[in-house]
A = this chain, B = another copy of it.
Amino acid sequence: MVSIVAANFARFGKRDEDIFAISSESALPIVDKFRDVIDFVVVSNSYSGEFNDISGLNNLLTTHLAIENVPSMRVDNTSGSGGSAVLVAKSLVASDEAKNVLVIGAEKMTGYPTKKSTRIIASLLPPEERRGGPSLPSLAAFMTRSYIREFSPTRESIAMVAVKNHHNGALNPYAHFQADVPLEKVMASRIIADPLRIFEYCPVSDGAVSLLVTSDENSKSLGNKSVKITGTGASSGTSSITSRESLVSIDSVKNSAKKAFKSARKTPQDMDIAELHDMASILEIVESEDVGFFKKGEGWKALETGETSIDGRLPINTSGGLNSKGHPIGASGVAQTAEIYLQLTGQAGKRQAKNVSTGFSLSMAGFGNNSTSFVYEVA
């Protein structure tokens, strides 16, 4: 069995420092404590070439961290890179290729015109669809309109995802946005892609987060609190959005979660807490259904009842999610695992949920082109 024994964030947001400094800020506390035992580094990053004019980031980082003899690689899966990187770390440990893997998720994306950032990220769409012009934000708007047509949620319940996640972000010292936003302000904010408004989208962020992944035998000797990864599931769907049968459900999310629960021998109803990929408000709702927490078409009700708030039955995105914590592409999936680790070990500070011993995270690439799900349990 493979466990997580450490997690550390560098603050997400608009940062002046370069990607080396931000990555090191997240990794150094772990490296300082576990320098002698770290034997592999997996860097989760998508766009160091496009945004930072850097390749071989993993090797430059091990040199920068003065652990230059530790082997490393970069794992990329666009927005879902972090899930893939944690899966690789787990596989390296489980297959005895490594004993203690430092995972560093990092992206430095701010400082460019939004048009340039959007164009770079849209390079994950199929060439024929890219020419047609849809961006990821507009795909989320299509999804929202389909969801409203099909299931008649209140419009407010969708916006409540932003209210809830901004509230959580306000309690997270590493979040990009750390201020509550009332529902009225969300509903009155600028429309980005009708009907979705600016507070319902994640911002463009810099940020980094690091984890130490280890085998169970090691986890005790390392002395830190540990959380087991008891289930994993990876799945893909077509990258061609126009070829999909449904716009209110995501195949890769459904299938990856199913696999993860099966391998953990758990059900969605066994989970105490979850981190989902809320690039746009609607996605948290759709994913909470696809993963199996709620019936299809009913996920929006949890926002009205408060079931997914920090003090609810199943807190979702206590970290603030991508929506408020921010979305440094390569860091986001690693951050989800880090948040569950902090929550299950009682280290989540002001945003700590009560009585949580099982958790779930969903790391998603593109617009559901790929998903990796994890089930976690307190060791």
Q: A123-B53, A124-B56, A239-B63 are in contact. Are A69 and B251 (CB under 8 A)?
A: yes
Contact residues of A with B, CB < 8 Å? 40, 46-47, 49-50, 53-56, 58-60, 62-63, 68-78, 81, 84, 87-88, 90-92, 94-97, 120-121, 123-124, 126-127, 232, 234-240, 251-252, 255-256, 365-366, 369-370, 372
Instruction: Report A119 CB to chain B, min CB distance, Å.
Output: 9
Residue among A59, A234, A238 with the highest chain B CB neighbour number at 10 A: A59
**CB-based contact A124/B59 at 8 Å:** yes
**CB-based contact B59/A369 at 8 Å:** yes
**CB-based contact A91/B84 at 8 Å:** no
Residues in B whose Cβ lies below 8 Å from that of A78: 55-56, 59
Q: A239-B56, A239-B63, A366-B59 are in contact. Are A255 and B126 (CB under 8 A)?
A: no
- State the CA gap A95–B78 with chains docked (Å): 24
Instruction: Report A89 CB to chain B, min CB distance, Å.
Output: 10
Residues in B whose Cβ lies below 8 Å from that of A120: 49, 55
Residues in B whose Cβ lies below 8 Å from that of A90: 95, 97
Query: Nearest residue in B to A46 (C-beta to C-beta)?
Result: B55
5 nearest CB pairs, A to B:
A56-B124, A71-B234, A94-B95, A59-B369, A91-B91
**CB-based contact A232/B50 at 8 Å:** no
Which of B97, B238, B239, B366 meets A87, CB within 8 Å? Answer: B97
Which of B50, B53, B77, B97 meets A234, CB within 8 Å? Answer: B97
**CB-based contact A123/B54 at 8 Å:** yes
- State the CA gap A174–B121 with chains docked (Å): 34
Residues in B whose Cβ lies below 8 Å from that of A251: 69
- State the CA gap A350–B101 with chains docked (Å): 43
**CB-based contact A71/B235 at 8 Å:** yes
Which of B50, B91, B238, B239 meets A97, CB within 8 Å? Answer: B91
**CB-based contact A55/B97 at 8 Å:** no
**CB-based contact A70/B123 at 8 Å:** no
**CB-based contact A123/B232 at 8 Å:** no
Query: Nearest residue in B to A68 (C-beta to C-beta)?
Result: B238
- State the CA gap A240–B46 with chains docked (Å): 23
Which of B56, B92, B94 meets A77, CB within 8 Å? Answer: B56
Which of B40, B59, B72, B75 meets A73, CB within 8 Å? Answer: B75
Residues in B whose Cβ lies below 8 Å from that of A240: 63, 68
**CB-based contact A55/B121 at 8 Å:** yes
Query: Nearest residue in B to A255 (C-beta to C-beta)?
Result: B69
Which of B54, B69, B70, B124 meets A55, CB within 8 Å? Answer: B124
- State the CA gap A87–B198 with chains docked (Å): 42
- State the CA gap A50–B48 with chains docked (Å): 10
Query: Nearest residue in B to A61 (C-beta to C-beta)?
Result: B239
Not counting A47-B55, A63-B369, A73-B370, a sample of 11 additional A-B residue pairs whose C-beta atoms are within 8 angstroms of each other reads A49-B49, A53-B123, A54-B123, A55-B124, A59-B236, A68-B236, A68-B240, A71-B256, A73-B77, A91-B94, A97-B234
Instruction: Report A121 CB to chain B, min CB distance, Å.
Output: 7
Residues in B whose Cβ lies below 8 Å from that of A365: 56, 59
